[in-house]
Amino acid sequence: MSRKSFVLYTEWEDTFDGQPNDIAGELIKAIFDYVRTEEMPQTDNTVVNAMFSIFKPAIDRNIGKYDAAIKQRKEAALKSAESRKHQANDRKRTSTVSVSDSVSVSDTLSLNGESVREGTNKVFDLQSIKEQLLSDEIWKESVCMQSTLGVSFISMLPDQLDKFIAYIVSIGEEQSISNISDAKRRFTYWWQNHGRKEVQDENKQVYTVPN
């Protein structure tokens, strides 16, 4: 690994000053070569070899710290780049709207012994619709309150359901009711806009004023 710098301690100055210039010069060159090549200096000078062996542990420690710092910086840079990549992908996924052609729901309607999920276009069984609605006590209580006729509406409900089903068939919208929730919703609408008015008209009494 090529290094652009290394640590040379000022406390080593006295050691260099105590040597002749040729020894000091060869020693500093040996240090530079070792830092650059990581190979032991090749010299026959025993003094240079001895002095280099004194400096080598400190040089190796600093080289190790330098290499560790470089490695740590590279790993941090890779993690940062990976994090930015994931964030970009998350934003892309968030901005993408996934549209499915089929809708899965748990609300099903039993039609002639079959379980049909909401959204299908099978023709519903009229008798099954009526039986399921009449067996739903909570729904019956709710429609009684909405009817404004109170509990008396309970006895009227079977007949009103027959009229409701006949109305749906007459306008050709059997396919619009594919589950029990559809039936409840459509019945409420029918009662508010058609059924209640018919009942009110039937209950009107005609009084004849005698001459």
3-state secondary structure 91-150: HHHHHCCCCCCCCCCCCEEEECCEEEECCCCCCCCHHHHHHHHHCCHHHHHHHHHHHCCC
- What pLDDT shows up at residue 103? 42
**pTM, full prediction:** 0.39
pLDDT bucket at 96, cuts 50 / 70 / 90 = low
Residue closest to 178 by CA, chosen among 117, 135, 105: 117
97, two tokens:
């709207």
Determine how many CB atoms are found less than 10 A away from the CB of residue 160.
19
Tens digits of residue pLDDT in 133-172: 999 999 988 888 888 887 788 898 999 899 989 998 898 8
- pLDDT value at 26 more than 80: yes
- What pLDDT shows up at residue 209? 53
- What pLDDT shows up at residue 85? 85
Percent of the chain residues past pLDDT 70, beyond the cut? 80
Determine how many CB atoms are found less than 10 A away from the CB of residue 7.
12
Q: At residue 81, what are phi and psi to the nearest 5 degrees? A: -65, -40
- What pLDDT shows up at residue 107? 47
Q: Are strands 114-117 and 108-111 parallel, antiparallel or unpaired?
A: antiparallel
- What pLDDT shows up at residue 114? 46
